[in-house]
Structure 1
Amino acid sequence: MNPRRPVGRPRVDSTSIHAEQAIRQGSKSFAAAARLFDPATRDSAVKLYAWCRHCDDVIDGQSLGHGQVGGDREDGAGRIAELRALTLGACRGEPMTHPAFVGLQQIVQAHGIPEHYLMEHLAGFAMDVDPATRYESIDDTLRYAWRVAGVVGVMMALLMGTRGGASVPAHVLDRACDLGVAFQFTNIARDIVEDAAIGRVYLPAQWLREAGLPVGDPMALTRREHRAALAMVAARLVEAAEPYYRSSMTGIATLPIRSAWSIATARGVYRHIGHLVRQRGPHAWDQRAATSRWDKLRFVVRGGAVALLSRALPPRSRAPQLWRRPV
């Protein structure tokens, strides 16, 4: 499949305005990196983000990523069913009214995003609201990371295309998935205590037991007496993200230069957040690990250098021990 890529500056409409507001208020890190895209790619990328953000908010009872509550498992199946129906309707050309789904329909039509990738993303949210979901091993955490972030990386790769304009090969989609997984591991490490407070634990139970931490009682992980052991598990997860961050470099080299710059910048910001969590140890959750405005500017400059460097490096084979996406 090689869908026609939009060229030139996109027409600004209410759907684009909604998407810009969603990314600006929902994620300062991604908003900063998204400014580096060319206008057409940026418009598509923020519309994909707006759909992801809307689905997340519906499941979590949030507004643009804020105000999360613990009651998100109530009628979770009903919320998922509604999101699936609307998403399939958008994919199949049915009239949409909500701007998140209007924007999704536009990018599906423009870039040929397969609906099974969108369904995989919703399957990640289904894991959040299913009380039977368990994270016993790192493979379970990887499966979740694929669904909520790795598959978004794959869809972003389809939006951005390649520097030669050809269709995106499977091995590039693999590297995009790797970066999404790395991002999600960073998110999980950063938000361990915040997530536990609303009843969610994405860390492998095997790791928790090995660290002497309680399993099956999320609130226990919020107690300060467990912070030292929790910091060891978080550092382990941050370290587990590193080979996925490294693998993503080969994928960045294939992107158009402004897309490569944007993605390399986001990669630098998120990798730094993981390193902050590891460096702070037991104090990692005293305040949320984040980057300052000057940090972001530094990573914008560094991202440009990384994007250029990635083109000069010989491509490396993907490490065989890395988790493989199922579709």
Structure 2
Amino acid sequence: MSTVDPRHPIARRELDAAGIEGAALRESYLRCRAINAAHGKTYFLATALLPPAKRPFVHALYGFARRADDIVDDTAVPVAERGERLQAWCGEFLADLDWGATSDPVSRAVLDTVTRFDIPTSYFVDFVEAMRWDLDVTSYATYAELEQYMWGSAAVIGLQMLPVLGRRDDAVRWDVLESHAIALGTAFQLTNFVRDVGEDLRRGRVYLPQESLDQFGVDLERLRRGVVDEAIRSLLAWEIERARGLYAKARPGLALVHPTSRDCLQAATTLYGEILDEIEHNDYDVFRRRAHVGAGRRAAVGLSGLRGALRARRHSVPEPNPPTPRS
């Protein structure tokens, strides 16, 4: 039974526009779409601003990442068992990726997306390795160490997305566009880390670098008490500014993607950036409340983005093919 009614006009139109044929493959993309709709509120909204022909492929990439995350973060299951599950699923996925075929209902859409856009398999290998770290590594001594983790858990996701989003024109150097994608993926991840300090602590993890904690005189026990004092405010303010620096580095890249993809990225960047504003508005209390952008604000950003996206589609020019990506 389909996780999304295949007769739903939007879902059907997306699959038709993307040229996705065959009952099994269409069902796989529908599953990924349902995963994104259920868990990726901001990402799903942003994806809806893309032309219908691009959306299924973003849903597929999201579904892949979410599948691994769910295995790692299932704290009801012992760590050893989670490790076995992750090893089994990721091992099967990487083998299927090498083989070029799969029976897995989520992986089928991912493999199709990889093939259509010639996405390097190394990005998926690096992502899987980062997910393995989450089972064994509970803290990071330096920001440089955290960056190594974020390469696999976030930066490569931005790189996976680039062939789907497309370049503005042939004058845009692919390596320049990649640098902006890496910065944006890392900014999203760092925003999550600041927002989810309390939640991650309950899972036994600390994603704020130890060198940052030491700089402001914050130890693990102080974090666990969950009392927002000046030291913790200063620590979080420091990491918020680091994230904002990454958003600033990524922002010029928005003008370099194809016009029909810009409003998607702009919406995601705006809404995720405003999570940082909400943390400040909540007096840095990341222990008792989870900062989020309200439904009204998300709707306003989405509506504004939709107007821009429709204009871009009316005046769009053909997308240049990306150069052969690095493997």
State whether TM-score is above 0.5: yes
Structure 2: distance between partners of 1:270 and 1:151: 18
Structure 1 residue 248: Cα displacement: 1.5
Any conservation in 2 of the 1:186–1:273 contact (CA below 8 Å)?
yes
2:141 is aligned with 1:136: yes
Structure 2: distance between partners of 1:282 and 1:172: 33
The 5-angstrom pairing of residues 152-163 of structure 1 reads 152-163=157-168
What secondary structure, in the 3-state scheme, does the structure 2 residue paired with 1:58 have?
helix
Q: Which amino acid in 2 is paired with 1:91?
A: L
Q: Which amino acid in 2 is paired with 1:84?
A: C
What is the RMSD of the two structures over their aligned residues, measured on CA atoms? 2.8
Matched with 1:211 is: 216
Structure with bigger RCO (C-alpha 8 Å, 6+ apart): 2
Question: 5+ residue gaps in structure 2?
Answer: 1-14, 312-325
Matched with 2:70 is: 57
Q: Deviations over 1:262-316 (max 9, x none)?
A: 01100000000012112322434432111122211232355579999xxxxxxxx
Task: Kindly report structure 1 stretches of 4+ aligned residues shifted beyond 6 Å.
Answer: 165-168, 304-308
The 5-angstrom pairing of residues 1-327 of structure 1 reads 8-11=17-20, 13-61=26-74, 69=75, 71=77, 73-131=79-137, 134-164=139-169, 169-215=174-220, 221-225=223-227, 228-301=230-303, 303=305
Give the share of equivalent positions with the same residue, in percent.
Answer: 23
Question: 5+ residue gaps in structure 1?
Answer: 1-5, 62-68, 309-325
Alignment coverage as a number of residue pairs? 295
Structure 1 residue 201: Cα displacement: 0.4
Structure 2: distance between partners of 1:197 and 1:102: 34
Any conservation in 1 of the 2:101–2:111 contact (CA below 8 Å)?
no
TM-score w.r.t. the length of structure 1 is 0.81
What secondary structure, in the 3-state scheme, does the structure 2 residue paired with 1:99 have?
coil
Any conservation in 1 of the 2:190–2:243 contact (CA below 8 Å)?
yes
Any conservation in 2 of the 1:33–1:300 contact (CA below 8 Å)?
yes
TM-score w.r.t. the length of structure 2 is 0.81
Structure 1: distance between partners of 2:271 and 2:60: 21
Q: Provide closer, same or farther for how the CA distance between residues 165 and 111 of structure 1 changes in structure 2, counting only shifts above 3 A.
A: farther
Structure 1: distance between partners of 2:263 and 2:229: 36
Q: Provide closer, same or farther for how the CA distance between residues 25 and 227 of structure 1 changes in structure 2, counting only shifts above 3 A.
A: farther
What secondary structure, in the 3-state scheme, does the structure 2 residue paired with 1:288 have?
coil
What secondary structure, in the 3-state scheme, does the structure 1 residue paired with 2:134 have?
helix
Q: Provide closer, same or farther for how the CA distance between residues 25 and 140 of structure 1 changes in structure 2, counting only shifts above 3 A.
A: same
Structure 1 residue 11: Cα displacement: 3.4
Any conservation in 2 of the 1:8–1:39 contact (CA below 8 Å)?
yes
Any conservation in 1 of the 2:130–2:153 contact (CA below 8 Å)?
yes
Q: Deviations over 1:198-248 (max 9, x none)?
A: 101011111112222224x5xx52323355533322221110011211122
Q: Which deviates more from structure 2 when the two are superposed, residues 196-205 or residues 135-144?
A: 135-144
Q: Which deviates more from structure 2 when the two are superposed, residues 102-111 or residues 166-175?
A: 166-175
